[in-house]
Each structure stands twice: as structure tokens, then as C-alpha cells.
Amino acid sequence: MKKVGVAILGLGVVGGGVYSILTEKSEFFKKTQNLDITVESVMEKNVDRALSLGVKRENIASSIEDVISNPNVDIVVEVIGGIEPSRTFVLKSLMSGKTVVTSNKELFAKFWPELEEMAKKMNAGLFFEASCVGGVPIIRTLQDGMQANVIESIKGIINGTTNYILTKMTEEGWSYEDALKEAQRLGYAEFNPTADVEGFDATYKLSILSSLAFNTKVSFENIYREGITGIDKDDIAYGKAMGYTLKLLGIGKNTPNGIDVRVHPTFIRNDNPLASVNDSFNAVHLVGDSVGEIMLYGRGAGALPTGSAIVSDIVFASKHDDYYYTPFKNSTGGNKETKFVSDYKVKYYMRLSVADAAGVLSKITGVFAKLSISLKEVKQISAEEGKAEIIIITHPCYESAAKKTLEKLAALDEVYEIKGSIRIEE
Ligand code: HSE
């Protein structure tokens, strides 16, 4: 039976999950995988935490040098998060010829080329299933289950915190602030929630996933990003009444004009399978030219779900020593030869507070007409004391034209406020 020694850098939530899966299921891995996997070393500043999980004192390393000089360690698991010291630890591990398994999406989105170059040079493995969508095996699906396909699109709910917040705003009518507070209380959102609510976390994941899906480096800087902090619960309710559900979507499309990649709040039809993905759950919908549509659904975070992805990488790495790397030019800042779409076509939902007077509607629709935007639906939802609220749904129009329209509308005396503007994906 093959013996595999693992080191875990960081025994936080995810590191603790990895430790408990590896130790509690040791016999199971012997039986089902023919692998004798042992945790040989852990690096954790909080020694009491390590001891309370059952780590032996002699297995607690005091430096990365301790870990990489340990001949019993074959695989180093990095679950510290953030850029430093993770980047240095991962590079040092690879430099010493150890295979690395990481859950670190920010590190991967920003330093993938550098890490991969080192892994290649040292003939070491570099695995990152847990970096995207937690326990959902999306990376292995893209790398090992879709080879027959040109992937046309990837769309997903790839951030659980924002999905929890939007679900509460949709189902309970909570304000953004109340939903965020509850997400923080439950431990989904951090004290500083920026990475999740402003869409950075989803952008890092989409950068990794769309690179694999479209076989070219998609830098996170190539991705348009908009978070959920400006979302008003009234727009969610009006959209719902019109047959739409609001989600923060990561969208990647491989179009004849180039790659279109964005993260933004999006209305989708209530019967879209992604509309029923609620709370902190994640899901990814793929379209391949051979297989058609597939969708993966599950937990995008948490000790055991993310631990599941890491352990699957450990098992995979233990059974494959002919490591393979990305087949595309994995350069920092993206592949200069790849074309990206900057002006895509999309439908818009807009809610305006306007003067309730003769001729106002024709003035407003005139702005859309001048920019060649055709309207699908115009609805007045309230009128009191000379003020009216209207909702406009457009037919697909260029993003640049929609942006210009919003600017021109805001400049009209008759428009008091643009209360909401949300893209619709059908
Ligand atoms: N904070 C992330 C989320 C989980 O809410 O989905 C880790 O990427």
C-alpha cells in the first residue's frame, strides 16, 4: 500500500476539516483507495487549537523549513488564505519538490503563473480544486470530464455569502443591512465583508474557472465586477413579481467576438435552474458543444465541504505522479492574444422616480429611442403627489448604450432618481 505523508499549513476552519477527514477516515482511504495517508506535520500558531484537534506536539512545525525538510511529507496543504505568507510557503514547498494542494483563490487568481512555473520546474503537483466553489468538484469536471467539449458558457452562483444575503432579501423582504448582519452572525460573512459583497471573491473564482473552461488565461483584471451593496430590496420584490429572481452571477461566455466575463447582480427567470439555488449554496451551469447543459450544485464553503475538495486533490495527487499543468500560456495579466468582449448585449431592468406630468413618459422613452434601445415593457408602479415610479425592461441592447441612457436619464429635470438598474440574463 502506498504511504502518503501530508502537512497542513493553517488549522483554521478548513484546515481543521481536512485534519478530521484525513484522521477519521484513514481506514476508509486504505480500503477504498489503497492509500495509507497520514498527517505528518501541521503549522499552526495557535498550538492549543492544534493540540485540541488531536495533533501530537512533535508534529507541530515551528517554521516552513521544518515542514519542507521533513522527508515524510509528500504533500503540503495550504489553507492559510491571503497572499503572504501563503505565497512564500507554497513556493518554498514546490521548490523542495513537494506537491501542493491549496484552497487559496486569491493566491491562485493573482500568482497562478508563478506557482505553476515553479511546480513544472520541480516536477511537483499543484492542485486547487478547493479554490473554487468549495466542495463542488468543478475544477476536476472542467479538467477531466469535459475534454470532448468546446465550452460555450459557464454561469454560476459562486459566492455563498452573497447568495445567502440575496435569498433573505428575496424570501423574507429583509434589507441588505439586516441580511448582511445575519450573514455575519452565522459566520458566512466576515467582519469586513468587502471581498464577498463587492464581488472580489467571485471574480477570483471566475478568473480560474473561465481560464480552464476557455483554455486561455483570463485574468481577474479582465473581468467586469459589480457587487451587491447597491441592491434595494424593492427591486428584488418588483423583479420577483415580473418573473425574475436576483442572483450575483459569475458569467463567462465564449463568443465569436471574444470572451465575455463578468460578475454582477443579475435577474434570471424564475424557472432558470440557478434561480432555485438558495441560502449559502453554490451552483455552476456549463454548456459544452458535445454534452449540452450540465449543472453542479453544492456547498461552496465550510470545513467539511472544502475539506472534501482538498482531500480529493490529495488522493488524486497520490495516484497520479505524471502531473499535468495548464495547456494554455499561463501568463500574469492574461494572454495578450486573447480577445475580450467589452461591449456585450444585455437586457436591462431600470426603475426611475419621475415627475407625474404630461409628456414625461414620451421624453423618457425618447432617450432610449435615440440610443437605439428598444423597450420590452414599461410599467407605472406608483403615482402620488406629482411623483411617479416607473419600471422599464429593455430588449437586448449594448451595455455602452444602456450606460449612456442611464446618464442621459439622470440629467433630465423630469427624472428625480434612478432607483435601480439591473442586467437581465435569459
Ligand atoms: N466567502 C466565500 C463564500 C467562501 O461566501 O462563498 C470561500 O470562497
Which phi and psi (to 5°) does residue 425 adopt? -115, 120
Reported pTM: 0.96
Rounded Cα–Cα distance for residues 61 and 407 (Å): 58
Q: According to the model, what pLDDT value does residue 166 have?
A: 98
Q: Ligand 1 within 6 A of 201 CB?
A: yes
Residue 250 CB: number of other CB atoms within 10 A? Answer: 32
Distance CA 386, CA 378 (A): 19
Got the DSSP string for 291-355? TEEEEEEEE-SSHHHHHHHHHHHHHHHHH--S----SS---TT--TTS-B-SS-EEEEEEEEEEE
Q: Which atom of ligand 1 is nearest to the CA of 190?
A: 1
Instruction: Give the domains, in start order, of the chain with CATH numbers.
Output: 2-131 (3.40.50.720), 138-299 (3.30.360.10), 345-425 (3.30.70.260)
- Count CA atoms within 13 Å of residue 225 on its CB side: 20
Q: Tell me the mean pLDDT in the region 45-57.
A: 96
C-alpha cell read off for 224 = 467586469
Q: Which of ligand 1's atoms lies nearest the C-alpha of 164?
A: 5
Task: Please report the pLDDT score of residue 271 as a whole number.
Answer: 96
Ligand 1 proximity of 160 Cβ (cutoff 6 Å): yes
pLDDT at residue number 160? 96
Q: H or E stretch including 260?
A: strand 258-269
The reported pLDDT for the residue numbered 336 is: 81
197 CA to centre of ligand 1 in angstroms: 10
Q: Taking a C-beta distance cutoff of 8 angstroms, is the pair 185, 161 a contact?
A: no
Indicate if ligand 1 lies below 6 Å from the C-beta of 196: yes
pLDDT exceeds 80 at position 334: no
* pLDDT per residue as tens digits for the range 105-162: 999 999 999 999 999 999 999 999 999 999 999 999 999 999 999 999 999 999 999 9
Does residue 17 line the site of ligand 1, with CB under 6 A?
A: no
Reported as a pLDDT band with limits 50, 70 and 90, residue 384 is confident
The three-class DSSP label of residue 389 is strand
